[in-house]
Amino acid sequence: MHAQDSLRIRFQLFLGNEPIEWGKKYITSNADTFAINSCKAYFSKFTFTYQNNKIVQIPNSYYLVDFSEPNTTEISLPISTNKAVKAVSFTIGIDSATNTAGLLSGALSPMLGMYWSWQSGYINWKIEGTSPSAKTRKNAFQFHIGGYLPPNLAVITVTFEPQKGINNHVVRVQLDELFNQISLKETNTIMIPGKPAMVLANLFQNCFHYKP
């Protein structure tokens, strides 16, 4: 057997050059003022590609990160210490097979508020906050993004090449790269799978940056 160690990934939520402050007012490049109150996301199907091109997927690797709870933002994954890791991949959201497997427990428990119904499945990620540009009740905006059936399969894969010689890694989520691409006057409430959710899912993928 190969020796086992762990590769740790810490997810950080940023706006510009600063970590997110809940409730703080920010301004997008479209001149929307907004504040974020919560952000949660599922990360799953962690896969290592070793230097010998062997690919290993970590079984049952489903994690719910609540960015307001620092103890949830670091994920520890088992790796073989005598093999160099060339790439790490993970999915933002929950795959179709898991969505259709029936209600699950642990990080996938419906009690955690990240599950719609058996028809719509899991919410892959959600961001909630307020903006005067959103002409909604209490100026709230809500993005609950999911969908596990084509053509609205909203799970997205992120891959990074880890720096050699270290096991602690940081993936930064730059939310300004999402909010600068939308108008909160026009896009402020997405609560079901569909084309608008797919647009935001693809924008959210671009927010992820590996920070060696």
Match 């810490």 to its residue by tokens: 10
Q: Which range of residues forms the domain containing residue 34?
A: 4-211
Per the structure, the count of domains in the chain is 1
Q: What average pLDDT score do residues 136-144 get?
A: 98
Distance from C-alpha of 34 to C-alpha of 26, rounded to nearest angstrom: 5
- Terminus-to-terminus CA distance in the chain, angstroms? 29
> What local confidence, expressed as pLDDT, does residue 103 receive?
66
Judged against a pLDDT cut of 80, whether residue 152 lies above it is answered with yes
Q: Is the pTM of this model over 0.85?
A: yes
Q: What is the DSSP letter of 182?
A: S
**Segment 84-103, tens digit of pLDDT:** 899 999 999 999 999 988 76
**Segment 169-203, tens digit of pLDDT:** 999 999 999 999 999 999 999 999 999 999 999 99
Predicted confidence band at 47 (pLDDT cuts at 50, 70, 90)?
A: very high
* 147: number of Cβ within 10 Å: 26
Cβ burial, residue 64 (10 Å; 0-12/13-18/19+)? buried
**Which of 115, 177, 142, 134 lies closest to 39, judged by CA?**
142
Judged against a pLDDT cut of 60, whether residue 2 lies above it is answered with no
**Which of 19, 37, 3, 1 lies closest to 170, judged by CA?**
19
Judged against a pLDDT cut of 90, whether residue 9 lies above it is answered with yes
